[in-house]
Copies of this chain bind each other. A is one copy, B any other.
Amino acid sequence: MKRNLCFLLEYDGSRYDGWQRQAGNDNTIQGKVERVLEKMTGTFQEVHASGRTDAGVHARGQVANVHLETEMTKEEAGRYLNQYLPEDIRVIKTAVVPERFHSRLWAREKTYAYWIDMAPKSPVFQRKYIYTLGESLDVEAMRQAAGALRGTHDFGSFCTGKSKKKSTVRTLSSLEIIPYGTLLEIRVTGDGFLHNMVRILTGTLIEVGQGKREAGSVEGLLEEANRREAGFTAPAKGLFLMNVVYDQEIFCHGEEE
């Protein structure tokens, strides 16, 4: 029986070369998932994710779908994946979705979180998932700059490897800076993200927080649409894909065994 199966995935991206399969490279998350499914069904099928996370980036709520010919239930397929995937990639939930559903094309919004520590040393149990900046930041200035970034803009300054053909206009419905003691979470929701966009937004906001840029200068950056004008690309280790929103709920609430 051929069905379109959908998986809610979490992964610790620390030791991977990102989501996207690469020829001759066995160290991608997509490659690991596809290989287990090939072992399960005997046939290779491409797995589509909501977006490609870069090397070192983590996910708490990546969504991926695949058309599979199998007699297994979705729960059995999820358990099979969990059994054969490494311990740093896990299926949280499974769903059967309409045949035409596509994790990336149907995604309406995505949320990312970026974690910064203003203290010189990070909590040991989260040390691999936080960018340890070790420097106090002016959170109010960062919030003012964040306000200018919310909404619909040309984010051409906030992406690497921009193609001249494709639009760099995106809409950020939310961009918040949330302090927890010495930790800061930058949480951003948008209808789409350009390559490295969250990490460049974060780097730019950090520079505002350090006083290296004026909070009011960010509007000018948007007008420039020039990567060189924006801030540095914050390290991958602090970035998490948190959630992907579709027109309808894909996964039921509650824990799955």
Copies per complex of this chain: 2
Question: A124 contacts B83, CB within 8 Å?
Answer: no
A124 contact set on B, CB distance < 8 A? 10-12, 87-90
A129 contact set on B, CB distance < 8 A? 125
Question: B82 contacts A120, CB within 8 Å?
Answer: yes
Nearest-neighbour CB distance to chain B for A107, whole angstroms, equals: 22
A10 contact set on B, CB distance < 8 A? 123-125
Question: A87 contacts B121, CB within 8 Å?
Answer: yes
Question: A90 contacts B121, CB within 8 Å?
Answer: yes
Question: A79 contacts B181, CB within 8 Å?
Answer: no
Query: Does A119 sit within 8 A of B, measured CB to CB?
Result: yes
Query: Does A255 sit within 8 A of B, measured CB to CB?
Result: yes
Selected from B11, B58, B120, B127, the residue in CB contact (under 8 A) with A79 is B120
Q: How far is the CA of A123 from the CA of B122 in the complex (A)?
A: 21
A-B contact list, 5 entries, CB within 8 Å: A10-B123, A82-B120, A87-B121, A87-B127, A88-B127
Residues of A within 8 A of B (CB): 10-12, 58, 60, 79, 82-83, 87-91, 119-125, 127, 129, 181-182, 255, 257
Sample of 17 more A-B contacts, CB < 8 Å, known A90-B123, A181-B255, A182-B255: A10-B123, A11-B124, A12-B127, A58-B125, A79-B120, A82-B120, A82-B121, A83-B120, A87-B121, A87-B122, A87-B127, A88-B124, A89-B124, A90-B121, A91-B121, A119-B257, A182-B257
